[in-house]
A and B are shown apart, each in its own frame.
Chain A
Amino acid sequence: DSGVTQTPKHLITATGQRVTLRCSPRSGDLSVYWYQQSLDQGLQFLIQYYNGEERAKGNILERFSAQQFPDLHSELNLSSLELGDSALYFCASSLAPGQLYEQYFGPGTRLTVT
């Protein structure tokens, strides 16, 4: 158990819909990262927040947005969903905006778009 929690574990929704994925970082961690893992693209970095501020952006679509709240939990919002958005979405956290080895990954949310 990494200490990072993600809800929900599974989500099934229809194309065109909007969903929100939630992540609670490990106690004391200030930085949160979001990743998408699909069958054909592997694991890709989406976005990073540190203490409420966006710090780095990866291959995140304009239909996707995220934020980190004052209590440090983070939400990833996915809108106008397409079949290709079906994937595992992972959240990771670290104490500071550090290197890859300092990130602890959560169990993931499996999103299925039908």
Chain B
Amino acid sequence: DAKTTQPPSMDCAEGRAANLPCNHSTISGNEYVYWYRQIHSQGPQYIIHGLKNNETNEMASLIITEDRKSSTLILPHATLRDTAVYYCIVTSGTYKYIFGTGTRLKVLA
């Protein structure tokens, strides 16, 4: 599975959009981009995933660049409860998932 690079931390004002970037320059054609988050050492929570098209669900939007070498997770209206560590994972489903150290997002009141 391809490796990902994320900034270690970000701040976002409550009510504003949080844009979390992820670089995955070695991604291969059959690998999906997944986003998970972890709040206070609880179990990771699935957010969204995509292959090459942009995706949106009730939690977030995922924007994948045309060359698929990077992506951005967008939380449209961040709340204090969105404070968490966000992980970008690239995998073809081989179970060798690499969660890495993620981005610690802090939503500020």
Contacts and interface: CB of A to CB of B under 8 A. Distances in A.
Interface of A: 2, 4, 33, 37, 42-45, 48, 56, 58, 88, 90, 92, 99-101, 103-108, 110
Contacts, number: 53
Contact of B43 (A44, A45, A108): A108
B43 A100 contact: no
16 contacts: A2-B43, A4-B43, A42-B102, A43-B44, A58-B96, A99-B32, A99-B93, A100-B34, A100-B49, A101-B34, A101-B46, A105-B43, A105-B44, A107-B42, A107-B43, A110-B41
B96 A45 contact: yes
Contacts of B49: 99-101
A45 B34 contact: no
A48 B44 contact: no
B53 interface: no
Give chain B's interface secondary structure class.
Answer: loop
Contacts of A43: 44, 87, 97, 99
B96 A106 contact: no
A100 B42 contact: no
Nearest to B49: A101
Contacts of A37: 99
A107 B89 CA distance: 20
Contacts of B89: 100
B41 A42 contact: no
B72 interface: no
Contacts of B32: 99-100
Interface in B19-50: 32, 34, 41-46, 49
B61 to A, nearest CB: 16
A37 B91 CA distance: 18
Nearest to A99: B93
A111 B95 CA distance: 23
Given A2-B43, A100-B89, A58 B101 contact: no
